[in-house]
Amino acid sequence: MQLLKPQHWKDYELIDSGDYEKLERFGKYVIRRPEPQAVWRKSLSEAEWERADAAFKKEKGKVSQDGNDKGVWIQKKGMPDQWFIDYHYKAMKLKFRLGLTSFKHVGIFPEQSENWDFIYDTIQNLNTPEPKVLNLFAYTGGASIAAKSGGADVTHVDSVKQVITWSRENMETSGLDNIRWIVEDALKFCRREVKRGKKYNGIILDPPAYGRGPDGEKWILEENIAELMSLCGELLEKAHSFLILNLYSMGFSAVIAENLIKDYFPDVNNCQYGELIVPDRSGKHLPLSVYARFIRS
């Protein structure tokens, strides 16, 4: 099992973590927001935390469909609602529009940069011209634009139309184009693609613990992940291909992600699995997701 931490960020830093919060720098702005995994004590004083440009305050009893706390941002003078940051790795130059949402997110999960690097390198080395990549539960498109930057033909699937719009903006500001946008329930889309006999050289899965499709379809990770993995087993090419499974559910360990790969891709013997972590300035490692991934040559 591997613990992977971001290696190439200049516009992001985890300054401190603890007491169920995290203090982060995105570009030139510092924000504080809840973090249920940070069960230890903070290293910095409250006075230092209070210097943040924006702080998220939870509204009691307000929870989104996916279990995220709903709340409001307290912004200091000069803190914008939206701003941009860059991420560079080799020839990959990505730009993201960030924003203060009512569910504490800002439009990016910085720990995922390790997967973006993996996607870019893998596509560059696949022995396939313009490999086809499918990104499911694709959110604001970090993995999609990483794949496009690497030279892939990308299909981006998410159930929220506004998030697709955000993803398109990230693509355009990164100087890229021609990603295929699909607003649909991931399971329904995969079922239809299997019936069509479609194949992909890369599949990226980032399912939430709980969610809703555009027509009210219910997604529950524990109940639906098996079918989704089975469908992906049919959609993924047997050679010159890769898959990434990323899980945010606090109840799922990296071993579960590895076992899902072993079960639905029994021919794979080079599966990497572990946790994506981010260290703060004091050296504490904040675990943020588990992953499993592999490459078929």
Digit-coded pLDDT (tens) for 155-205: 999 999 999 999 999 999 999 999 999 999 999 999 999 999 999 999 999
Residue 21 CA to residue 187 CA, distance in Å, equals: 33
Digit-coded pLDDT (tens) for 112-126: 999 999 999 999 999
Taking the CA atoms of 189, 193, 195 and 196 in sequence, report the sign of the dihedral they define.
positive
The chain-wide mean pLDDT, for the chain, equals: 95
Q: Exposed/middle/buried for 217, CB within 10 Å: 0-12, 13-18, 19+?
A: middle
Its pTM stands at 0.96
pLDDT value of residue 66:
47
Residue with tokens 């993996």: 118
Average pLDDT over residues 86-100: 98
Digit-coded pLDDT (tens) for 282-295: 999 999 999 999 99
pLDDT value of residue 68:
65
Which residue pairs from 214-222 have beta carbons closer than 8 angstroms and sit at least 24 positions apart in sequence? 214/159, 214/160, 214/161, 214/183, 214/184, 214/185, 215/185, 217/159, 217/185, 217/187, 217/188, 219/185, 219/186, 219/187, 221/247, 221/249, 221/252
17 touches 31 (CB < 8 A) = no
Model confidence at 250, in pLDDT bands (50, 70, 90)?
A: low
Residue 54 bridge partners (DSSP): 31, 75
pLDDT value of residue 186:
97
Non-local CB neighbours of 109 within 8 Å, separated by 6+ positions: 139, 142, 288, 289
User: What residue ranges do the domains of the chain occupy?
Assistant: 2-83, 108-296
3-state SS, one letter per residue, for 73-97: EEECCCCCCEEEEEEEECCEEEEEE
pLDDT value of residue 69:
75
pLDDT value of residue 65:
47
Residue 247 CA to residue 252 CA, distance in Å, equals: 7
Residue 45 has pLDDT above 50, yes or no: yes
Digit-coded pLDDT (tens) for 207-249: 999 999 999 999 999 999 999 999 999 999 999 999 999 998 6
Residue 264 has pLDDT above 70, yes or no: yes
CATH number of the domain at 108-296, please?
3.40.50.150
- Report percent pLDDT > 70 for the chain: 97
Looking at domain 2-83, which of 2.60.40.1180, 3.40.50.10710, 2.60.40.1120, 3.40.50.2300 is its CATH number?
2.60.40.1180
24 touches 281 (CB < 8 A) = no
Model confidence at 59, in pLDDT bands (50, 70, 90)?
A: confident
pLDDT value of residue 118:
98
One-letter amino acid of 168: R
